[in-house]
Amino acid sequence: MGRKLDLSGLTDSEAEHVLQVVQRDMRLRKKEEERLSELKQELDEEGSRCLLLSRQSCFNQRCCIRCCSPFTFLLNPKRQCRDCHYNVCKACRVYNKQDKAWLCSACQKSR
């Protein structure tokens, strides 16, 4: 990033175009940094909430750690997330074909 460009060989319109491209790149980078910062904050909050809920005796055996919905044998079975090892319901998990394992939505975002 710290390099200077020699734009002396360009016409005014070409230099203006280069400037617009660089400004757009800076806006996109800032937007991406903000998006990643929000995602990190969301994942941190989710982790704190899960830690608090997991301290309740047997909570995660009966309810999804992500959405707190109760598990049922046929309609909403629990599956253990490969990364965090919490039990999650069918709405809060995805199957990772590469690992051949279930991941909760938070761990999927984190990956």
pLDDT, one tens digit per residue, over 41-56 is 887 777 777 677 777 7
What is the pTM for the complete model shown?
A: 0.56
Q: Does residue 100 register a pLDDT over 90?
A: yes
Enumerate the H helices of the chain as residue ranges.
12-54, 59-62, 105-110
Residue 39 predicted with pLDDT over 70: yes
Instruction: Give the domain ranges of the chain.
Output: 15-110
- According to the model, what pLDDT value does residue 55 have? 74
- Looking at residue 1, its pLDDT comes to 54
SS3 5: coil
Percent residues over pLDDT 90 in the chain: 38
CATH class belonging to 15-110 = alpha beta
Of 16 and 54, the structure prediction assigns the larger pLDDT to 16
Distances (CA, A) of 95 to 9, 43, 50: 55, 19, 20
